[in-house]
Amino acid sequence: MRNWKAYLAAIGTIVLWGMSYIWADRLLDLKIPVEFFVPVRILLAGGLLFILNKIARYDMRIRRKDWFKFLLLALCMPFVYFVAETYGLQFTDSPTLTSLIIATNPLFAMGVGMIIFREKFSWLNILGVFITLGGLWLVTYTRTETGPLFYWGILILFIAVMAEVSQIAFTKSLSDTYAPSVIVMYQFLFGAVFFLPLFFTRGIAQFDATLYLSWKVLYPTLALALLCSATAFTIWAYAIKHLGVAHTSVFLAVCPLLTAILSFLFGDERLSYLQWAGMAVAMIGIWLTQRPAEKKIQ
């Protein structure tokens, strides 16, 4: 298979991001504010990548013409995306539903890939996206209870989707000039600066060292920072560089599948036979999105 390393990177990313919804949900259950754990998460990730980039001796200089792109990248992701995603998760109170809505990303990313980057994909690829989302709907549609902010949560999650599509486009435009880990490092360090006003107002307003510095808070926070941010975003940038916007984004559709499986394994969620069937349908759809076809859309 061509670009097998890029495909492996994309798969590794969605596994880690599938776990991220569970770890974030645990922090929310402990009443840890979004404005606290998200800035801590991205600052730790950015700091770790800075050390690794120094050790690897990557060129970390930002060219003058690219400063605005980096700032917009950090604004979209992590600032807008993480705020919208985490509040959406909090309002819907469903890691699986949250990841399903985020999985609509490929529908928008395909348009970006076609219009901006002139990427080629086929009608078969488009069909695969819809089949994938249909299968994922079967996995996640059995929602029996909704809170008062449930539909607001869904709306906010679509804002996260728009931010993520924009982030992918900016990452693609920078990937020919900068190493993936350098792009992600600046993305998180600049993003941490955007978060400072929220962190020092809402984030630490009710700081309790006994809770905030306990292992039950530190463990998911460190997992989100080191695995779901530093590691996942770096290998994701690598996948975008080698697979393109449209083909990379479609892997996000697997996140709900992984979140549902992991929630099941951890005892947080039980799956019906219909949901297992939906997983099989989703896998067929993912396979179709990666199949070449004679007729291309440009």
Is residue 173 in some structural domain? yes
Instruction: Give just the sign of the alpha carbon dihedral 6, 83, 39, 63.
Output: positive
State the chain's maximal CA–CA distance in angstroms: 61
Between CA 178 and CA 60 the distance in angstroms is 8
Is residue 293 in some structural domain? no
Per the listing, tokens 């754990």 go with 37
Is residue 194 in some structural domain? yes
Does pLDDT of 298 surpass 50? no
Position 211, amino acid:
L
Is residue 290 in some structural domain? no
pLDDT, tens digit, 9 for 90 and up, residues 31-76:
999 899 999 999 999 999 999 999 999 999 999 999 999 999 999 9
Instruction: Output the CA angle 224-229-232, nearest 5 degrees.
Output: 115
Is residue 125 in some structural domain? no
Predicted confidence band at 166 (pLDDT cuts at 50, 70, 90)?
confident
Does pLDDT of 110 surpass 80? no
Position 116, amino acid:
I
Average pLDDT over the chain reads: 82
Is residue 186 in some structural domain? yes
Is residue 126 in some structural domain? no
pLDDT, tens digit, 9 for 90 and up, residues 246-288:
677 777 767 777 777 777 776 665 667 776 787 778 778 767 7
Q: Which two tokens stand for residue 270?
A: 């039980």
2 or 31, which is more confident: 31
Percentage of residues in the chain having pLDDT higher than 70:
83
Highest mean predicted confidence (pLDDT) among 190-204, 237-251, 252-266: 190-204
- Domains held by the chain: number: 1
Q: Calculate mean pLDDT across residues 163-169.
A: 83
Does pLDDT of 179 surpass 70? yes
Is residue 288 in some structural domain? no
Phi, psi of 246 (to 5 degrees): -65, -50
Which residues have C-beta within 8 Å of that of residue 22, sequence separation ≥ 6? Answer: 95, 259, 262, 263, 266, 268
* Residue whose C-alpha is closest to residue 27's, from 84, 87, 81, 75: 87
Owning domain of residue 212: 4-110+146-263
